[in-house]
Structure 1
Amino acid sequence: MKRTQRGMTLISFIIVLAVVGVFVYMGMKLIPMYSEYYAVKRALAALKADPGAANSDPARIRDLFFRKLYVSYADNVKRDHLKIERRDSGYLMTVDYEIRKPLIYNLDIVGKFHAEEQLRRGGGLD
C-alpha cells in the first residue's frame, strides 16, 4: 500500500507565511494613505454641501477645508496642495499631493492622489 503525503511541509508553510506577511505589511502601509485620501474627498464633499461655502472668499474656503481635515488627522496634505480656481458660478477646488512611505530597506511606496470638487453658488449642490 502506497502512502501519499498530505498537507504542506514546514518549508512550504514558512514560504506561504512569508508571502502573506509581506502583503499584510504592505497593507499596513497603504491603508493609512487611502484613508487620508478618503478624508480629503469627504472634506471636499462637505464643503460642496455647505450652502455658504461657494459665496465665501478663497481664504475662508481654504480655512474651512483644513479645519475639516484636521478632524480626520490628515497630516500629509499641506496648504500648497490645495488649489482654488474661480469658475463661472463658483470655485473649482483641486487637491494634488503625493505620499512616500518607506517599505523595505531602499524600497518606497509612493501614492499620488488627486481630488477635485466644484463649488457652485446658490446652495453648493449641482
Structure 2
Amino acid sequence: MPMKMSLVKKSCLAAALLGAACAAALAADWAFAFRPVTAQMAIYSGGLGDPGAPTAQDAKVSFHVQGKAARDLFDRLGPDVKDECMTDPKVRVRVKERLQCIQYSRSDTSCYFGFDLKDGKSIGGSIC
C-alpha cells in the first residue's frame, strides 16, 4: 500500500530541496581567483617601535593593505575588539593572531601583518 505524505512533510521536503539548490547555486558562482590589492610594504630590522635598516642577519617585512581587500579581510575577521591604542569610539578594530584590521570609516579600512624574512614566521605588522 503506497504511503501518503502529509502536506507539512511535503512542504518541509520542498523547502529543504529549495535550500540545497540555492546553496549549490551560490557555491557555483564563487571561484578561487587572485584579485588586485592596494598595499605598501616596508622591509626593516629590529622592531617596529625602533626600526633600522635590514641586515643579512635581521630582515622583517610589514604589509599595509588598504581598499576593498582590507574591507574584505575586516568583514571576515569576526567581532570588533577593544584596542588600547584607539580612543575614537567610531574606529573599529578586529584582530586574529598577528593580523590587525582597523576601520576608520566604511571607505577607509587598513590591515597590517608582517613576516620575519629569516625564518618566514608571521609577526605583527603594526604597533600603537
**Category of TM-score, reference length = shorter chain:** 0.3 to 0.5
With structure 1 as the length reference, what TM-score do the two structures score? 0.34
Higher-RCO chain (CA-CA 8 Å, sequence separation at least 6): 1
More strand by share: 2
Q: TM-score, normalised by structure 2?
A: 0.33
